[in-house]
Amino acid sequence: MCIYERLFEHFGPQNWWPAKTEFEVIVGAILTQNTAWANVERALDNLSAKKMMSPVRLRKARCSELARLIRPAGYYNIKAARLKEFLEFLFKRYRGDLRRMFSTRTETLRDELLRVKGIGEETADSILLYAARRPVFVVDAYTRRVLLRHKLISDRSTYHQIQSIFMENLPKSIGLYNEYHALIVKLGKTYCTKRPKCDSCPIRSCFSGGGCARGLRLVRT
């Protein structure tokens, strides 16, 4: 029994970003930076209600108007500017066409996204996985916390090092990366909190050998 199977058995499918447009996924990825998803959804609803959920419409909107609409997501001034930064990139580089953007190879697109002010590694990888549908594993604060708690990484491990643990031990599957990341977030929220509920942690028995890297059986071999 590998960790992924155990998590999926315990929590079930997380259904992240289901049936959304690619553009909405990207907007959500930026708005959810250090922010609870429930608040992001209100902001997304506001944009949709105003028929603003398109590259053309968002680009036309004034920054102050945009900030007002995304207010529930917090950091609204910063995030309005970040959305604008992405849209300027999208129009200057790809004529505002996501299809064109998604025709770029994964490594190149990742580098381009990282050059956009307001898009860091996690946001870039979220866009690549959930919008562009590339097999890129997303590392976030929960991933770090869960692995650190199980002593599978050190507190000095870099984003890339943590990402490599998954990508070098898992098949390059979009569906698997999608669900696995979401399940780790769910695990972190539920069991890897400040007062951890280690006794009932669903992957507790996966680390019976005591936390070495070999204990991280990410999938059945």
Partner DNA sequence: CACCAGGCAAGTA
Partner DNA sequence: TACTTGCATGGT
Residues that bind DNA (CB under 7 A): 16-17, 28-29, 32-39, 42, 71-72, 74-79, 116-124, 126, 130, 140-142, 182, 185, 189, 194
* Cβ 133 to DNA shortest distance, Å: 14
* Cβ 200 to DNA shortest distance, Å: 18
Q: Residue 93, class by beta-carbon neighbours within 10 Å (0-12 exposed, 13-18 middle, 19+ buried)?
A: middle
* Cβ 188 to DNA shortest distance, Å: 7
> Cβ closer to DNA: 34 or 205?
34
Residue 161's contacts (CB-CB under 8 Å, 6 or more residues apart) are: 153
> Cβ closer to DNA: 1 or 141?
141
* Cβ 75 to DNA shortest distance, Å: 4
> Cβ closer to DNA: 92 or 214?
92
190: tokens are 């539920």
Q: Give CA–CA dist 92/95, Å, rounded.
A: 6
> Cβ closer to DNA: 23 or 142?
142
What are the angstrom distances between the C-alpha of 1 and each of 89, 199, 205, 211? 44, 18, 10, 16
Q: Give CA–CA dist 148/120, Å, rounded.
A: 21
Nearest to 76, CA basis, from 60, 59, 63: 63
Query: Which residue in this structure is represented by tokens 């999208």?
Result: 90
Q: Give CA–CA dist 25/46, Å, rounded.
A: 15
> Cβ closer to DNA: 172 or 189?
189
* Cβ 17 to DNA shortest distance, Å: 6
